[in-house]
Amino acid sequence: MHEDEEMRLTRSKQLEDEHRVRSCTGIILLLAAFACLCISASASTMEEDADHWIKEGYKQMWKGSFSQANESFEKALQIYDQAIATRPGDINATLNATNKKILLLVKLGRFDEAISTLDSTIKSYPENLKAWKIKGFSLINIAEKSIAESSEAENGTVGSNTTELDGIYDQSLQAFQRALDLDPDDAEAWRGRALAYSGLKDHDEALKASDKAVEIDPGYGQAWLDRGILLLEMGRTEEALFALDRALSIQPDNLDALSIKAEALTVLGRYQEAEAAFYQAMDMDSERYETGDSEVDWLL
Query: Which of residues 42 and 73 earns the better pLDDT score?
Result: 73
- The domain 127-214 is placed in CATH, from the list 3.20.20.10, 3.30.70.20, 3.30.420.40, 1.25.40.10, at 1.25.40.10
Average pLDDT over residues 82-103: 89
- Give me the pLDDT at residue 148, please: 87
CATH number for the domain formed by residue range(s) 218-292: 1.25.40.10
Share of the chain above pLDDT 90, in %: 59
CATH number for the domain formed by residue range(s) 42-108: 1.20.58
- Give me the pLDDT at residue 17, please: 54
- Give me the pLDDT at residue 254, please: 93
Average pLDDT for the chain: 83
**What pTM does this model have?**
0.79
211-227 as b/e: b if 16+ CB within 10 A = ebbbebbeebbbbbbbb
Question: Both ends of the chain: CA-CA distance in Å?
Answer: 75
Instruction: Give the start-to-end residue ranges of the domains of the chain.
Output: 42-108, 127-214, 218-292
- Give me the pLDDT at residue 247, please: 98
- Give me the pLDDT at residue 296, please: 46
- Give me the pLDDT at residue 12, please: 54
| 196 within 8 A of 169, measured Cβ to Cβ | yes
- Give me the pLDDT at residue 63, please: 86
Query: Which of residues 27 and 240 earns the better pLDDT score?
Result: 240
Whether 42-108 and 127-214 share one fold: the answer is no
Residues 223-261 have pLDDT tens digits of: 999 999 999 999 999 999 999 999 999 999 999 999 999
Query: What confidence category does residue 291 fall into, taking pLDDT thresholds of 50, 70 and 90?
Result: very low
Q: Is the pLDDT of residue 18 over 70?
A: no
Query: What confidence category does residue 38 fall into, taking pLDDT thresholds of 50, 70 and 90?
Result: very low
- Give me the pLDDT at residue 276, please: 94
Q: Is the pLDDT of residue 5 over 80?
A: no
- Give me the pLDDT at residue 4, please: 56
- Give me the pLDDT at residue 10, please: 54
